[in-house]
A and B are shown apart, each in its own frame.
Chain A
Amino acid sequence: MSKIVRRQAEDIDLEAYSQRAEEHPYEEDPSQLPADEKGRMAEAGVVLDDPSQRSGTFLQIDHSVVHSKAWEEGLEVMASTEALKRYPWLSDYWWRAVAVDADKFTAEAERHQNHGYFIRALPGVKAIHPLQACLYLAQHGLAQNVHNLIIVEEGSELHIITGCTTAPRLEIEGLHIGISEFYVKRGAKLTFTMIHNWAPRMAVRPRTGVIIEEGGVFLNNYICLKPVGSLQMYPTARCVGENAIVRFNSVLMASPGTRMDVGSRAILSARGSRAEIISRAVTTGGSIIARGHLVGEVPDVKGHLECRGLILAKEGSIHAIPELDGRVADVALSHEAAVGKIAEEELEYLMARGLSRSEAVAVIVRGFLSVDIEGLPPQLEAQLQRAIELSEKEIL
């Protein structure tokens, strides 16, 4: 008889990683970085050669801020450590969306912080191009503990692409702890797209909290199609203002050796607020726990959770854990979840059109991962498609 496994988050030994990193020099022109590093960053959505498609760039390698600049008026980008010095009022935002004592990783980030970014859109500013941030781990065995803060002030709109990646060495080991606190003010809109391209022996522990005020919109897209040793995250968005909207889209692919425990949580604490959580998970041999949690705390809120998983290899596993948590009457929370292999009927349908079996699998997986992400700017859409196409080689 098989055992029932309780799905606890995997522990990481903090002592196993070094806190000391070599300094990397500041680059006025980040296009001068070595081609292989830029290549890794480009795969994670961060483009340094043609900045015309971006409104600003933040680049951190190990513990060094290598570049930080905004080109569009009304946007601020800098290291969060510098922002804390410059703006004393930031204490109202620091550790307010994520609890410092949430777990040992948040505590570790507080004790040994290595920068992270501060990004702010001033009131009413509508950024034309996405702003990009890259957190890059180059030194083998390093712990990188960043603390990020995004404030989208009243009525402003901002797209942010965050690419997290490592030096192009398969054997690289490291620990990335990323605290992220986002504030979406009244009537503001933040589209946050994060692409994770880690390495097979990396441990990654993001801790994200988002606060959305009245009429604010937070769209979160998370894409992780590359191997990662151990990844565990459960970003939580709280709708505190009336009619606030949150949407999480996650696209996950786990190859053999990859262990992912990824969820999205939305807490609906104000009337009229709405949440949608969509996740697509594919395993070609790795294990995925796909979680989702909707909490309705007040009447007249609505949330839907959709979690679908495809298991393409015998060794792969997907454990979907959708949770609906209604705490008053008059909430409308729903979910649908499905995990399994590709239906034979669908494969044969495409094969009758002349595709080989593996081509048919690739077409179905590509379609499965291409969730229709509302509000995604065309360049991000292209980015997602590219990432999916790159991962296709691994499926075939």
Chain B
Amino acid sequence: MRKRRLFWQLYTSNFLVIFLALFAFTFLTTSSFQSILLDQVSNDLRSRVELLRPEVVRHLRAGTYVELNTESRRYGRTSHTRITVLLANGDVVADSERDPATMENHARRPEVILAERGGYGTSTRYSSTLRRSMMYAAVPLYDGNTLIGFLRTAVPVHRVEEAVQRLQWQIVLGGLVIALIAGLVSLAISRRLTHPIETMKLGARRFAEGELDFRLEIPESEELNDLAAVMNTMAAQLQDRIGTIVQQNSEQDAVLSSMVEGVLAFDTEERLININHSAAVMLNIVPEKALGRAIQEIVRNVGLQRFVADTLSRGVPLEEFISIVEDNQERHVQLHGTLLRDHTGNILGVLVVLNDVTELRKLENVRRDFVANVSHELKTPITSIKGFVETLLDGAIHDRADAMRFLTIISKQADRLNAIIEDLLSLSRIEQGADRHEIELEERAMAEILASAAQTCQVEAEAKRATLLIDCPEEISAVVNAQLLEQAVVNLINNALKYSDEGKCVWISAAAHSEDEITVCVRDEGYGIEAEHLPRLFERFYRIDKARSRKMGGTGLGLAIVKHIVQAHRGRIEVKSSPGVGSVFTMYLPRTMDAAGTHALDEVAA
């Protein structure tokens, strides 16, 4: 249906009512006006007929038609009335306007017929003789009881018609004026009605556009007033609710985004509906681009794709491990999936929580490897000892030279076992001590410790014709456990000597690194270490070249011990190396107890 403006609705109905009233009024007024006027004319005619009747009867009785005609003309002229006299058969014998001889028989004229029947007849019609609308009145004329003729008088009635027409015109003119006024009034009313409605429409549109702090003006009329008030209240309530929802949303967002676990939500078509920061980082997703898209498009990981499909189709909470293969590493992620339902229990989709367990796995692996490695490292010398002991028991003991050689080997392998166990024990002592804060630290000059360490290694150095060079200013000092730090430096020097050719130098130095830290450095001119080994260098039993290391009597624990000693001092250790040039091991140690404390905090934060 086409919408019409309120103005036209008002105007047409107003106009129609006015028009109908006017029409009825015109009709009634003019018709009664006309009949009053015609009555008057008719009465007038009748009185004239009655006045003339005796004279005409006299002439007819006498048969003096010519005089009658002359009389008629005279009377007719003086009274502005047409007078006609007929014989009983209808022949005209006198007429005030025309020659009676030329006139037709008038017996069938309506007024004559009426007069013959009832003694008086009137008729209004167009006279063909005079070419105008006339009212006729006729009476029968009697001589005693004999009908001898008719007397008819007539006056023109065009004046009446003219008067009626004039009246009609005036009314129509008045009607037009009233229609115009009705239009103006309708316009004014519709303006008054629609203006506040228009304002409210604009206001409602602003509400719809989210401008909820806008308030409508209160219009004058009561109904619209109520409507505006209701709309304003509605806007206020909406604003309140939206505010609450926004706040809840931002709280939830804050909770979600601060979670370490990744959170993903998909709808039943497996399209992404929510993702938190952790999940975006874990899966390398740009949330803005990914929302609303299918999982297959945004995550190229079949494990996760299948997990989401499984959770959706099976409808029970699921748990699974998947791996994400990145360029340089593989990450292990634990998945928990549950269905999302709305308050009526309809399934909305699926929620997946991702937990990165790569580091946990790594720790597990380190522990598993450690047990395997320890067993292996202990087994090697024991196998050897057992073998030689059995050989001795089998008779080799009787050959003194062989027996001596075997026993020497057994002794050496026992030393090796001892060394491994010593190292393991000191590792665990350092670890436990560090855990329980039992390692005593005191401020000591570095020069003294470095000299003592170099002294310890002097024998090995001379065996390789190597030179140990110490560079340490007297004032350099730090809060250390002298015994442990010396052991660390000794381990580093021993390594440097082991993996260098004969006749090279080893530099042992200490320097101030910053206000809080000093560095202790051991540099060699040895074989160097390939870059790919560096990250694992400090792991227990990690060996670059297993055969060579054992031959040189290493336990595989030296650098692990160094790392733990440094950690017990709340310091850190770095290594730089290039194959064929040499290696530099640098320990960063805190100068004071306070510095140690802050440094530890840094480490936690990192």
Does A associate with B in a complex? no
Please report A residues at the B interface, Cβ cutoff 8 Å. Answer: none
Please report B residues at the A interface, Cβ cutoff 8 Å. Answer: none
